């Protein structure tokens, strides 16, 4: 029918045949797409979801499943944690900036309890159990945990710590319940389909279709090599995920992530961003990246992490995403974990959700001087770092970085070193600029008629920093908004 080697919009008058028509067309069947579909259907719209893969899920169903919610959710309350929207807002502003969209964060925090209840009403299961140990994920089926360093320095002094990582209950042992993210997607997909949302799998969007007034009225997609035009009577929702796998976009916008995508899927090729840019859509925070750090949190909290100059640079007991960002973005991806034998053995005896992060030490030494030389650090640097650390640790505190007293203990001998250079990878957080109704904004500031977006093809809550659960959080929250707004459009 027409060229697909461009992301330029196609004019509706140049379309010969419409393969499908719906009120609301949702591109992408991950977390943002499914929530848009549910809400659009509930608002009375005839919904068609287009998914490039052969089934629902997107990156969400591969995820651990943290959803960042708070302000006093029933789960927080049941487990004895106090939280308010204002407290949550205060934390997020500190953790996800600088440059965070303050209006969006306030909006998200105020709507968070309702959003939790909505998820539960859709059938998402949360078990009333708290996981309090450092970790990237919960090890069993606990429903709540710290997922953003809320209880670690410096955030524990900036807002009252409250855990906000909500995890749908899953079980490795029960078939079809393979992760928290999967158990988030499954009931939502079932809800969408029960509400009558139709789905076309193996259908990949390529271009937007616009009428003569530049209103978005559909998408051009490909299905097994064939071009299909799909008409949207009320609106198109872009929910196609990040650009972590779009090499030229990563090079141009977020080059520190070159060669290290993670927690993203290959379908994340930035297409939603590019088709909207071709219509003059504005962008935001294109450099922002989540950065995972592949070290076991139980080991990290008990040791010290030093950079290529033998200096500590991050509280080792904080959220791994903060450690990842501090390592990749501020310390040239140079990281060495130093831990003494006693703490190492103690860590190994603990439960972790990420046993595959527990590697044997790179070096084992009888003295700090020996380890310093083995690692190849400038002479005296690690020794003086440990000397200062130990002096304060003897009093049970860490004035340099504020690691919590429970993890602070002088480092003895023998001791081990782990080479954790290049232990980072992540996904992109930047994307389309949208308003709080998930309308895609033109660079002029006005919404682009008929076009909505949510999830990681948009710039959501996070400007620079990241907390686990922010993506499933803003994807689901603003996915709903997109569905509702699109259903009422036109």
Q: Which is nearer to a copy of itself, 113 or 432 (CB)?
A: 432
Q: Identify the residue among 69, 199, 238, 286 touching a copy of itself (CB under 8 A).
A: 286
Tokens encoding 132: 């309090």
Q: Identify the residue among 298, 331, 438, 468 touching a copy of itself (CB under 8 A).
A: 331
Binding flag, residue 433, a copy of itself (CB under 8 A): yes
Binding flag, residue 405, a copy of itself (CB under 8 A): no
Q: Identify the residue among 379, 394, 396, 405 touching a copy of itself (CB under 8 A).
A: 379
Tell me how many residues contact a copy of itself (CB under 8 A).
51
Q: Give the angle subtended at the CA of 29 by the CAs of 47 and 194, to the nearest 5°.
A: 50
Binding flag, residue 410, a copy of itself (CB under 8 A): no
Q: Which of 63, 195, 49, 25 is nearest to 122 (CA)?
A: 195
Q: Which is nearer to a copy of itself, 218 or 430 (CB)?
A: 430
Binding flag, residue 376, a copy of itself (CB under 8 A): no
Q: Identify the residue among 62, 106, 388, 436 touching a copy of itself (CB under 8 A).
A: 388
Q: Which of 437, 435, 473 is nearest to 455 (CA)?
A: 473
Q: Identify the residue among 12, 120, 158, 283 touching a copy of itself (CB under 8 A).
A: 283
Checking phi first, is residue 291 left (phi over 0); if not, alpha (psi -120 to 50) or beta? beta
Distance from C-alpha of 39 to C-alpha of 480, rounded to nearest angstrom: 6
Q: Which of 461, 442, 90, 102 is nearest to 290 (CA)?
A: 461
CB of 367 to a copy of itself, least distance (A): 17
| DSSP secondary structure letter of residue 16 | -
The stretch among 117-125, 229-237, 345-353, 379-387 that binds a copy of itself (CB under 8 A) is 379-387
Distance from C-alpha of 403 to C-alpha of 396, rounded to nearest angstrom: 10
| Distance (Å) of CA 334 to CA 311, 361, 467 | 11, 16, 22
Q: Which is nearer to a copy of itself, 426 or 483 (CB)?
A: 426
Binding flag, residue 252, a copy of itself (CB under 8 A): yes
Rg (CA), the chain: 24
Q: Identify the residue among 258, 348, 351, 369 touching a copy of itself (CB under 8 A).
A: 258
Q: What residues numbered 287-306 form the site for a copy of itself, per CB under 8 A?
A: 287
The stretch among 185-193, 219-227, 278-286, 349-357 that binds a copy of itself (CB under 8 A) is 278-286
CB 209 within 8 A of CB 10: yes
| Distance (Å) of CA 276 to CA 26, 143, 209, 347, 401 | 14, 37, 11, 48, 43
Distance from C-alpha of 475 to C-alpha of 450, rounded to nearest angstrom: 19
Residue 121, number of CB atoms within 10 A of its CB: 10
Binding flag, residue 222, a copy of itself (CB under 8 A): no
CB 467 within 8 A of CB 96: yes
Q: Identify the residue among 401, 432, 470, 485 touching a copy of itself (CB under 8 A).
A: 401
Q: Which of 448, 472, 483, 430 is nearest to 101 (CA)?
A: 430
Q: Identify the residue among 285, 439, 456, 484 touching a copy of itself (CB under 8 A).
A: 285
Q: Identify the residue among 110, 198, 309, 421 touching a copy of itself (CB under 8 A).
A: 309
Task: Give the distance, in angstroms, between the CA of residue 101 and the centroid of all CA atoms in the same chain.
Answer: 17
Q: Which is nearer to a copy of itself, 12 or 278 (CB)?
A: 278
Binding flag, residue 490, a copy of itself (CB under 8 A): no
Binding flag, residue 284, a copy of itself (CB under 8 A): yes
The stretch among 18-26, 228-236, 296-304, 375-383 that binds a copy of itself (CB under 8 A) is 375-383
Q: Identify the residue among 352, 459, 468, 471 touching a copy of itself (CB under 8 A).
A: 459
Distance from C-alpha of 347 to C-alpha of 301, rounded to nearest angstrom: 9
Q: Identify the residue among 98, 175, 176, 225 touching a copy of itself (CB under 8 A).
A: 98
Q: Which of 143, 159, 137, 168 is nearest to 82 (CA)?
A: 159
Q: Identify the residue among 1, 53, 329, 436 touching a copy of itself (CB under 8 A).
A: 329
In the block, tokens 């045949």 appear at 17
Cross-strand bridge partners of residue 230: 20, 219
Which residues bind to a copy of itself, rule: CB under 8 A?
A: 6-8, 97-99, 251-253, 255-256, 258, 274, 277-280, 282-287, 309, 311-313, 329-331, 378-381, 384-385, 387-388, 391-392, 399-401, 433, 442-444, 446, 459, 463-464
């Amino acid at each position: 029918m027409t060229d697909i080697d461009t992301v330029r919009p196609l004019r509706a008058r140049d379309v010969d045949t419409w393969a499908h028509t719906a009120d609301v067309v949702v591109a992408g069947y991950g977390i943002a797409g499914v929530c848009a579909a549910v809400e659009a259907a509930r608002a009375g719209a005839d919904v068609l979801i287009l998914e490039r893969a052969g089934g629902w899920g997107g990156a969400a169903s591969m995820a651990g499943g943290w959803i960042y919610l708070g302000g006093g959710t029933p789960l927080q309350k049941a487990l004895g944690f106090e939280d308010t929207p204002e407290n949550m807002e205060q934390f997020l502003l500190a953790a996800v900036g600088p440059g965070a969209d303050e209006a969006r964060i306030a909006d998200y925090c105020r709507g968070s309890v309702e959003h939790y209840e909505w998820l539960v009403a859709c059938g998402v299961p949360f078990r009333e159990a708290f996981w309090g140990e450092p970790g990237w994920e919960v090890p069993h089926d606990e429903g709540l945990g710290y997922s953003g360093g809320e209880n670690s320095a410096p955030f524990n002094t900036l807002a009252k710590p409250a855990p906000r990582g909500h995890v749908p209950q899953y079980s490795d042992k029960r078939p079809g319940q393979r992760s928290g993210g999967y158990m988030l997607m499954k009931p939502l997909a079932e809800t969408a389909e029960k509400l009558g949302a139709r789905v076309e799998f193996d259908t990949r969007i390529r271009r937007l279709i616009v009428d003569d007034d530049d209103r978005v009225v559909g998408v051009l997609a490909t299905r097994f090599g064939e071009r299909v035009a799909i008409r949207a009577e009320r609106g198109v929702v872009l929910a196609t995920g990040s650009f972590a796998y779009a090499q030229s976009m990563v090079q141009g916008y977020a080059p520190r992530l070159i060669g290290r995508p993670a927690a993203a899927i290959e379908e994340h090729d930035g297409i939603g961003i590019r088709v909207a840019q071709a219509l003059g859509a504005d962008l935001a925070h294109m450099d922002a990246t989540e950065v995972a750090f592949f070290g076991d949190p139980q080991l990290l909290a008990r040791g010290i992490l030093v950079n290529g100059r033998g200096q500590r640079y991050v509280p080792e007991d904080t959220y791994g995403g903060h450690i990842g960002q501090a390592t990749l973005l501020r310390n040239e991806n140079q990281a060495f974990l130093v831990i003494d034998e006693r703490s190492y053995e103690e860590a190994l005896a603990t439960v972790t959700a990420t046993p595959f992060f527990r590697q044997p030490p790179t070096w084992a030494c009888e003295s700090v001087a020996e380890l310093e030389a083995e690692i190849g650090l400038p002479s005296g640097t690690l020794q003086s770092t440990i000397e200062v650390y130990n002096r304060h640790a003897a009093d049970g505190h860490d004035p340099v970085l504020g690691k919590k007293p429970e993890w602070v203990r002088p480092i003895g001998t023998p001791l081990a070193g782990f080479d954790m250079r290049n232990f980072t990878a992540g996904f992109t957080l930047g994307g389309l600029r949208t308003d709080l109704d998930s309308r895609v904004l033109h660079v002029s500031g006005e919404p682009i008629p008929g076009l909505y977006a949510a999830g990681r093809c948009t710039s959501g809550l996070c400007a620079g920093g990241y907390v686990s659960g922010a993506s499933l959080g803003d994807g689901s929250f603003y996915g709903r908004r997109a569905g509702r707004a699109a259903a009422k459009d036109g």
